[in-house]
Amino acid sequence: MSTQTKDKLKVAVAGCGFGANHLRGYADSELCEIVAIWSRTEIENDRNNSEQAAHTYNVPLYTDFKKMLKELQPDIVSVAVREEGHEEMTITALEHGAHVYCEKLLAPSVPAAQRMVDKAAEMQRSLNVGYNYRYSTSCQYIADKIKSGAIGEPLFVHLRAFACCIHHMTDYVCSLLGTPEKVVSVINCKPLPDRPLPHDELNYDSFFYTGQTMKTYMVEFAGGAVLMAGATDYSNIMNPAADLLIEGTEGRIILDDINGTVKVWQGLSDPWSGADAHESREAIHYHPSQIRDEIGLIPNCHRAVQDFARSVYEGESAPMPGESGVNMIKLEEAIFKSSQTRQWESV
């Protein structure tokens, strides 16, 4: 259905830190109209960002979340506040009839995240979790290659990442390989003698969100594929945020950063046969274009919120359903538990 015969979606955004990227994404969508911004006012930086955003988009700034929902009845609410505020705001928005795009992590615990998913089902509304790495042009290129059978059946994946990037790239790997079944891990959470951990405020009671001094794990998926992952909070932020190698039965894919160059090797079914075996040494190179593609985490977010808006507009399921957010917390909890038991743990 065209936008000429269907009203635009009314969108409200809560939080103007990372939420500023939500606002830009919705503003650039022909399907959406931004109608309001919500923000706390007791924090000076939040207030300044929010006032500037409200001026930029010429919309009212609310500090009373329920009042905003009652007065404007938005079709979509984006929740981009800190994790501890996700559950209450998401459930309140759902109860007022809105579809919700909630930033990752969905919640600080499985029960809280599950309550959000259950409320969305009860209200017959979409709940989408913001794992926007899936919208990297490089990651989407890889997903298309795997779906097309370019490397056959994926066998194993090596992932190296920086800090919390390991969580988000693990979500991306799950979107490629399916359902995680069990995990074994080793985590070193003791800071270096002369350097405190830079991200310890992002850890929760039942799991570590970031890489710690060292966070490593293996995940076995229902289809038999295995992920081997490792990260540290001490990586230099100027280095690539993540590197990925995916080995398949008929080829290999290597990604050199979240939005980086992709190399695809498509070998022969029998690489030892005949004179044409040298063809397996020739890689296909994919380079995101600085002219054609918007590259980076911010453009990833723009694409993610726009895709969610499109799904709401077309009456489709959420592209990154809330269940994905619940499953990622379950996986993180199993990783944490395994680091304590030193045994394989079910997810």
pLDDT of residue 60: 96
Shared domain for 49 and 95, answered yes or no, is: yes
Helix, strand or coil, per DSSP, at residue 228: strand
Domain count, the chain: 2
Q: Considering only CA atoms, which of 259, 301, 298 is closest in space to residue 169?
A: 259
Of 247, 331, 302, 249, whose CA–CA distance to 137 is shortest?
A: 302
Residues 188 and 264 in one domain: yes
Domain boundary at 125, 155, 177, which?
A: 125
Instruction: Report how far residue 220's alpha carbon sits from residue 216's, in angstroms, rounded to the nearest whole number.
Output: 14
Write out pLDDT tens, residues 148-161. Answer: 999 999 999 999 99
Q: Is residue 15 part of a domain?
A: yes
Question: Based on the domain organization, do 139 and 277 belong to the same domain?
Answer: yes
Inter-CA distances, 236 with 49, 63, 148, 194, 273, Å: 28, 38, 35, 16, 44
214-222 average pLDDT score: 98
The whole-number pLDDT of residue 199 equals 80
Q: CA-to-CA distance for 226 and 219, rounded, in angstroms?
A: 6
CA distances from 267 to 97, 139, 273 (A): 52, 21, 11
Contact 328, 173 (CB under 8 A): no
Q: Which residues of 246-282 are buried (b: 16+ CB within 10 A; e: fewer)?
A: bbbebbbbbbebbbbebebbbbeeeeeeeeeeeeeee
- Per-residue pLDDT at 113: 98
Mean pLDDT of the chain: 92
pLDDT at 2 (0 to 100)? 44
How far apart are the C-alpha atoms of 89 and 310, rounded to whole Å? Answer: 22
> Do 107 and 53 share a structural domain?
yes
Q: Examine the fold and report which residue of 125, 144, 174 is the final residue of a domain before the chain moves on.
A: 125
Q: Quickly state the pLDDT bin for 1 (edges 50, 70, 90).
A: very low
Q: Are residues 109 and 161 in the same domain?
A: no
User: Is the sign of the CA dihedral 196, 201, 206, 209 positive or negative?
Assistant: negative
Query: What is the CA 31 to chain-centroid distance, rounded?
Result: 22
- Are residue 145 and residue 71 in the same domain, yes or no? no
**Do 120 and 145 reside in the same domain of the chain?**
no
pLDDT digits (tens, 9 = 90+) for 272-282: 555 455 555 67
pLDDT at 269: 52
User: What are the pLDDT digits (tens) for 221-272?
Assistant: 999 999 999 999 999 888 899 999 999 999 999 999 999 999 999 875 555 5
1 falls within a domain: no
Q: What is the pTM of this model?
A: 0.92
**Percent of the chain whose pLDDT exceeds 70:** 92
For the chain, give the number of residues: 347
Longest CA–CA span in the chain (Å) reads 73
Per-residue confidence (pLDDT) for residue 209, from 0 to 100:
95
- Strands (DSSP E) found in 275-342: 283-286
Name the residue among 32, 22, 12, 18 with its Cα closest to residue 89: 12
The answer to whether 259 touches 300, Cβ cutoff 8 Å, is: yes
Residue 206 has pLDDT above 70, yes or no: yes
Task: Over range 181-209, report the average pLDDT.
Answer: 92
- Residue 198's pLDDT is 84
What pLDDT shows up at residue 40?
Answer: 82
Other Cβ atoms less than 10 A from the Cβ of 128: the count is: 28
Does residue 304 sit within a domain? no
For 303-336, what is each residue's pLDDT tens digit? 999 999 999 999 999 999 999 999 999 999 999 9
